[in-house]
Structure formats: C-alpha cells, structure tokens
Amino acid sequence: MSGDDALQSAARRRALFEAIDDGFCIIEFIDGPNGPMSDYLHVEANSGYERQTGIADIVGKRLREIEPANADVWLKLYGGVLKSGQTVRFEQEFAAIGRHIEVSASRVEPESLRQVSVLFRDVTARKQAEKALRESEAIARENIQRVQLALAAGAIIGTWSWHLPTDRFTVDEGFAAAFGFDPSLGRSGLSLAQVVETVHPDDQAGLAAAIAEALSRGGSYAHQYRTRRTDGKYYWLEANGRVDLAPDDTPVTFPGVLIDIEGRRAVEAERDRAITALRALTDTLEQRVEQRTAALLQAEEALRQAQKMEAVGQLTGGLAHDFNNILAGIGGSLDLMRTRLAQGRIGDIDRYVTGAQSAVKRAAGLTQRLLAFSRRQTLDPKPSDINRIVADMQDLISRSVGPAIAIEAVAAGGLWKAFVDVGQLENALLNLCINARDAMPDGGKLTIESGNRWLDERTAKERGLEPGQYVSLCVSDTGTGMSPDVIARAFDPFFTTKPIGQGTGLGLSMVYGFAGQSGGAVRIYSEVGKGTMICIYLPRYVGDDESDEAPAEATRSVSATDRNTILVVDDEPLVRMVAVEILEELGHAVLEAEDGPSALKILTSRPDVELLITDVGLPNGMNGRQLADAIRAQRPELNVLFITGYAENAVLNHGHLEQGMQVITKPFEADAFARRVSELISAS
C-alpha cells in the first residue's frame, strides 16, 4: 500500500471512529505500581469518549490516574478479554465519573500487542430509570400490603379513588359511612362537591387548601378534618392519599384511605399538656447538658494544656539540667584559668582549656540532637549506599555493644540508593544499636537489616509517609521490649526509661527528627518480653548516579597559606571577631560586615575579594543566601562559605548547594573552619 493509500485509509478509519456517537478507545496494558500488567494506558480514543464520560484528553492517561479506587475491577475485566481473546459485553459502574456504561470489549490481535478495543455508551439514565421503577414497584407492593393489613386490623375505615380528569370519586362502603351518604352513590361515582358536603363548615376551607396544594405538586397527601355521619354528629378522621402525575405533570389519579382518629383526638388535650410539661423539662435538660458540655470542654482543654506543659516542662527541665552541667564546666574552667594566670601558674592552663573545649563540644552535641528532633539540623544529603554505610560501621558497632551481643547484618541485594546525610545516618544507626544493647543486659542478638520498600497508599499512611519507594534500615533486638505507653513517648525529648545518669533521652528523638527532616519516618515495633525492632524509612534516590564517597577530612592543623582577601559577614560581633582572627592568623587580609546590604557594597567596590564567608541568618532584609546569589550574579566564580547556627534548609535549598558553595555549622573548631576556607580558596 502506498503512502497516500495508507493516509487515506487512516483518515477513513478516523472518520468512522468520529462518526460513532458511542465512546471508543484502545487501551494498552503496561507495568504499574503493583507489578507487570497492573495498569493500562489509553492509546487511542474518539471524540465520543468525552461525550460519554465527560473526560477530556484521555489519550495518554493511565487507568490509575482516572479510576484509582476501582482500578482492579477494570483490570480484571479487560485482562480477561486480553487473555481469552473472546469479545465480552457487560454493564459496569464508572465510579470516578458517577456513571454507568454499557461496554463491548475485544482483543486487538495479536495478543503480544497487549491491547483491547472498547466500545461503550453512557446508560446512566436507563439504569436510574430502572432503579426508580424497581423502587416504585417495591413501594407500591409495600403500600398494598400495608393497606390490606390495615383494613384487616380495622385501622382503615374506608378507601377512595378520585379520577381527576372526570372529577369522579369511587368509594367503598366504609368511606360512604364515614361521610354519611348512601353507599350506592359511591359505586356510581361522586364529584368533589358532593363528597365535601358533609365536612364540618369550619374545616372546609382548610381541606380545600390541602387538596389544592397536593394537586399542584403531586405526591403524598395527609389532612385531618371532621365529617357528619348518619347520626348527625361530627367525627374526626384523617385522609391519607397520593396524587399521581402524568409525564406533563398533570394530576391524573388521587387514591387514598380514611383513618378514624376520633379516639386519638379525644386525648389530644392530655397530650398537649404532656408536651408542654416535657418541653419545660427539655429546656431545663438542655441547659443542664450545655453546662455539663461546657464543663467537659473546659476540663479537656485543661488536660491538653497540662499535657502540653508537662512536655514543655520535661523539655526545659532536661535542657536546664544538661546545660547547667555544661555551663558549670565551662565557667569553672574559665575561672580556674583566670586564677592560674593571675598566679603565674600557666602549667595547668592546657588542662582547663581542654575541659572548656570538651564542654563546648557537649553543648554543641546537645544542641545538634535538639535540632535533629525539631527537624532544624543542617543536613548535607548525598546519594548513598546504605549497605556500605552499615558494613563500614560494623567494627564500631561491635566495639560499642560489646562481646555479649551477637550482631547479624542482613544486606538486601539490589538495594536502592537513598538521598541522605551519611554522618547523621551513622549517628542514628549507632544510637539505635546502643539502645538495643541496653535492652539486652544479659546479652542477646542484634540484627541490622536493609531492604527496598514500595509503600502503597494504605501502608504509607500507616507510617505517616507519601506513597512511593523507600529504603528501610531496621535494627532488631531480643531484649526486654517496650510497653505501648513507652512506645507512645519514646520519641519525646529527654524521655528515658534508663536510670539517672545513664541516658539523656535524646537518642530516639534525634533519630525521629532526622528521619522526618530527610523526607522519611521512623517506626517502633515492639512487645514486652519479645524484643524490639525500630525501622528508619528513607525516600529512594532517583537521579543521575553520583558518587557517595566522602573525601576524608585531614586531621592535621592547617598552616598559613598565601595571602588572600576574604569578606566575613555576621551580625554577632563575637562570632565575627573569632572568624576574623582565625583568618588573620592564617595570613589572610580580612574585611568585615554586619549585614547583607553593607556586605554587598563592599563586594561591589572590592573586586579583589576572593572568598565570601557569611552567616545565613542576617538582619536588614537580606539573608546570607540572598547576598550570595546577588553577588554571584555579577561574579559567578566567587566561592561562598555559609555559617549557620541551625538548619535554614529552605534558604540553603535543602542541601542542594551550587558549585563553589559549602556550609559549616556553629560552633566550629578553628582547624575545621580553616580547612574549609583552604578548600574553597584552592578551588577558586
């Protein structure tokens, strides 16, 4: 077939599809989130598809995009067609659009194409009409049964049928007796005027209005009034009926029944008195309920406030305890240094300096754990191989838990990479292993296991995550286990079940915050007496394969280098002074600024500045990242070292820094600071 013939054939085929008012599409089975052939793609459709479903631009859309809750039903139906090759016809609810469709589906040959053609039409109106008919028939049958039962029980005293176009009433003997006229008249037919002649004069206007209202709208009718019987007395009755309408909403028939309510009306006065008394009681009861409800709400609010204050008290108490110890060590060391310097006894100075530095490191570690819990620590995430991280830490873990604990590492084959801060993950893993050791005072087995996890919507929701692919790292022990109460509080900062002095209660809270800040979660699975498993779930890294090798930091001190011009920006004078003096000791020329606008002026006027060192949080309307972006727009080669006291992750683009940018957290050691400066100057 020539190219023109092929185009004409395709055009005729397309014109045929578009001429069909019914919806038509071709679907192709594809691999989905639940494995092979667990989804399908719409590869072709006519304009009738949108007319029949209301869904536009269906071509290219997957089943799980348009019908996620009901996807398995359609996969089973069309999968059967693909497998058997037999054409099937069925009706099915299309839940996502709230319609029913009538479907004819056939396999597109050959089977290897994995395609099914679908011809369908919207039959919602017919389904609804059938349902309404069934319901109407059921109601009619039920009403007939009720009337028959009521007649047999004597509850109904008469029946009527009013043919509205001819204004003729057909009534039974009971109706005739209730209205006080000859039963033979009811068999031959009565007009409305004849029927209402015996209605009490005071009730006729109300009856006429009730009848007119029922005729105007159709449907049910009920009204109470008095009629005069053959003994000349008036008796109360209730008329119940239904007005049936023609398709043009014209009333056609009006059947109904009469109920004797004379006895009921005789007790209405008593009922009214009872209702009045009940209403008074109800008003009083509602007032009491409102008062009780208000008291309960106040009690609940007080309980929530007490729980909140307990948590705050636990946090502040723990902070005060640890920081007071640290400050005592720093203050005591400084006092002794001053005393020894005044005495000229400088031999002990190094010991006091070392003590103060050790206390500063403890304070930094405590702050780091609190920031981890609150998801404010500075992270440096990279694509990482969790199996290799575990393997590299096995010696350290073995030494930390001791010989009484048997360690088994179960590394999953084909493990996905995770985008994670390696150092923080190592800290978290070590914390979990030490906790496991403490839960096995008499020895036991510790298992570290990695795995790929594909979490569906339900499973992800149970773990507080978004559905998708995750890498898990689980630490299990055979120890004492945790009770549900302990599990509920295990991640609270400073909460610990260990004796005083044997734990800060920040280990698990740090793991919890680190996992959440990394886009994952941590969960505890435990039973008293049967051990504990704690799992960290981290999002799978999907992207270009990058090396997760971290260059080893030099441990030697950094000596002076060539003289370079550096700008230091920090609004804290003491921090700025320390940074400037470290740099000047290294032989650099240093400029200072206390905020972003003044730093930008210096950078614009001093092209000889070779490195910008800036705090992230700066006053006066420009933070450190904005300063760096502004100057690098003019000088893209200028390297930047960010200094931060906590994780302004949004400012630092969640760890994704540009080439020539690094970050260091406060407090920092002089050698580490100098090393970062040297690296950035060498790279410029």
pLDDT in tens, 607-648: 999 999 998 888 888 888 888 888 888 888 999 998 876 544
Q: Which helix (H) or strand (E) holds 364?
A: helix 349-373
As a whole number of angstroms, the distance between CA 192 and CA 133 comes to 31
Q: What would the mean pLDDT of 16-41 be, rounded to a whole number?
A: 88
Angle at 338 between CA 336 and CA 341, to 5 degrees: 105
Q: Mean pLDDT for the chain?
A: 80
pLDDT value for 118: 94
Q: Is the pLDDT of residue 107 over 50?
A: yes
pLDDT value for 100: 93
Tell me how far CA of residue 408 lies from CA of 101, 390, 433, 475, 477, in angstroms: 57, 11, 12, 10, 10
**Mapping DSSP to helix (H, G, I), strand (E, B) and coil, where does residue 633 land?**
helix
Angle at 88 between CA 87 and CA 91, to 5 degrees: 150
- Phi, psi (rounded to 5 degrees) for 538: -120, 140
Exposed (0-12), middle (13-18) or buried (19+): which is 46, by Cβ within 10 Å?
A: buried
| Bond before 667 cis per omega within 30 degrees | yes
pLDDT tens for each residue of 639-680: 999 887 654 444 455 456 778 888 887 777 788 888 889 888
As a whole number of angstroms, the distance between CA 242 and CA 432 comes to 74
Least confident of 204-218, 334-348, 515-529: 334-348
pLDDT value for 99: 92
In which band, very low, low, confident or very high, does the pLDDT at 489 lie, cut at 50, 70 and 90? confident
Q: What would the mean pLDDT of 182-197 be, rounded to a whole number?
A: 82
Q: What would the mean pLDDT of 564-593 be, rounded to a whole number?
A: 88
pLDDT value for 140: 58
Torsion, Cα 427 624 633 652, to 10 degrees, reads 30
DSSP class per residue in 16-51: HHHH-SSEEEEEEEEEETTEEEEEEEEEEE-HHHHH
Amino acid at 537: Y
Assigned token pair, 67: 């019908």
Supply the pTM of this predicted model: 0.37
The residue ranking higher by pLDDT, 151 or 550, is: 151
In which band, very low, low, confident or very high, does the pLDDT at 200 lie, cut at 50, 70 and 90? very high
Show the beta-strand stretches assigned E in 358-402.
382-384
Tell me how far CA of residue 350 lies from CA of 501, 582, 670, in angstroms: 28, 19, 16
Q: Is the pLDDT of residue 379 over 50?
A: yes
Q: What would the mean pLDDT of 237-248 be, rounded to a whole number?
A: 90
Q: Is the pLDDT of residue 548 over 60?
A: no
Show the beta-strand stretches assigned E in 413-527.
418-420, 444-455, 468-477, 521-526
